[in-house]
Amino acid sequence: MDGVPCLRVACCQAQQFRMYLQSRGMLDQSFSLVKQPDGTVLLPVSPSCASQLDLQSLRNTLTPVVCDFTWSQVASPQSKKEKGRKPGNKLERTIQELLEYRGERWMEEMRSDLPRSFQRHGDLVLLGDSCFTLPIWDKIGDQLWSAVTKELRVKRLAKMSRISRDDRFRSPVVTMLLGDNSWVKHVDNGISYEFDVTRCMFSAGNISEKLRVAGFDCSGETVVDLYAGIGYFTLPYLVHAKASHVHACEWNPDAVAALQKNLEVNGVSERCTIHQGDSRQVQLCNIADRVNLGLIPSSEEGWPVACRLLKKTTGGVLHIHQNVTSPLPNAAAGDAAPQNVSAKNADREVWRAWASDTANRITSLFMDLTGASWEINIQHIEHVKSYAPHVHHVVLDLGCRPS
């Protein structure tokens, strides 16, 4: 992630929102609240809970002056004094007690092998692949997993190993540690997503882009989602952006099963048509007001299809996702702070260069496909998240219309 996930609220309502988040275990107390120059306050949200923020419900319940989601670069860790007021790591203490009960010794290397973050999906917690790797944990077995689920206040526990490269669907490799049923329900901004964690991916890091899509006004529009998955963007377009109809393309049969269920659960199945199979072969043309190309690291193979899908007479908008790599910073630079600012500016320059090149290539594609020139303009570049080293997930909004 790029920065700390935060809820931005008016200063006069910061205490009210802080108590709301804290009462639900969503406030990240390892960071301090940050006052902004515009009179707002950033409330740090626990990464595992960020995707569960229901902004619409918050706005309806607390009638805020300001209430939106952002990623902060300025949220600062709490001081040692502030941290000293917090209770110790309960999970660590619980595991230490379990080891003692079993006659095993606690070793310092175990501390770094405990989970630092995880995904919470209803009553199931999905651990990452970097925790519980030591042989001692296998020796303890179910007693350990029972202790972890009890401490995290869930009933089921699973652990991800990696994304499979053995199939073309990018299926997750997930092991159920406790519990048999691997179907989960995850609520994002008032939208219910149900899926099998052992069969389908769920990217909590895309929450900022899903919230942005939810804020679009797509009334009367036809949208094509070329890489629909379980409905990450299809559902925000239908539920919040109020698209008239969405054509959802997806080739993973497990994701299609989840997508069908999610459309029904959210009451929007009548406004969506699913096209199962390779989106490059989709038999649609001249139908869309906007096309969502939410595939990373690159959606380039879908660009010709997206151009063909836009309405020939009025055009529309392409939302193109891409992982863009920025150059490494100059390690010999002197002052760290100017270097940091310079690196951010350099990142943005790289994004703009990629966006300009993409716009030119889309212009050429329309000429090849239609034999006519189209006006292509860069409407917006959205930074979604970052990966190390210097790889950034960005979304380019391209306005396209015939000249």
Q: What pLDDT, in 10s, does the model give residues 313-332?
A: 999 999 999 999 987 655 44
User: What pLDDT, on the 0 to 100 scale, is given for residue 86?
Assistant: 40
Report how far apart, in Å, the C-alpha atoms of 5 and of each of 25, 185, 316 are. 14, 22, 32
Least reliable range by pLDDT among 54-63, 245-254, 315-324: 54-63
* 265 has a pLDDT exceeding 90: yes
Report strand pairing: 245-250 vs 222-225: parallel
Please give the pLDDT value at position 272.
98
Predicted confidence band of residue 197 (pLDDT cuts 50, 70, 90):
very high
Q: Show Cβ contacts of residue 239 under 8 Å, excluding neighbours closer than 6 positions.
A: 190, 191, 214, 266, 268
Per-residue confidence (pLDDT) for residue 83, from 0 to 100: 43
Dist. CA 193–CA 171, nearest whole Å: 17
**What does pTM read for this prediction?**
0.76
pLDDT value of residue 132:
94
Fold adopted by 4-72? Alpha-Beta Plaits (3.30.70)
Q: Where are the alpha helices (DSSP H) in 215-247?
A: 234-239
Buried b (16+ CB within 10 A) or exposed e, 254-267: bbbbbbbbbbebbe
Q: Are strands 40-44 and 4-10 parallel, antiparallel or unpaired?
A: antiparallel
- Among 48-52, 126-130, 231-235, 319-323, the range scoring the smallest mean pLDDT is 48-52
**The residue to which tokens 């303890």 are assigned:** 140
Domain-by-domain residue ranges, the chain?
4-72, 90-181, 205-326+344-402
- Detail the DSSP E strand segments found in 101-171: 118-121, 124-127, 156-163
- Name which of 145-154, 336-345, 367-376 the model is least confident about: 336-345
Mean pLDDT of the chain: 85
**pLDDT exceeds 70 at position 103:** yes
The CATH number of domain 205-326+344-402, selected from 3.40.640.10, 3.60.21.10, 3.40.50.150, 3.10.20.740: 3.40.50.150
* pLDDT confidence of residue 58: 75
Mean pLDDT of 78-99: 66
Q: 37 pLDDT exceeds 90? A: no
Number of H helices, E strands in the chain: 12, 17
The CATH number of 90-181 is 3.30.300.110
Q: What is the pLDDT of residue 332?
A: 44
Residue 372: what residue type?
Answer: A
Asked whether the domain spanning 90-181 has the same topology as the one spanning 4-72, the reply is no
Given a cut of 70, whether residue 397 has pLDDT beyond it is: yes
Read off the pLDDT of each residue in 196-201 and give the average, rounded to a whole number.
89
Q: For residue 91, is pLDDT > 70?
A: yes
> How many whole angstroms from its chain centre is CA 146?
29
Taking residues 32-55, report their average pLDDT. Answer: 80
Three-state secondary-structure class, residue 125? strand
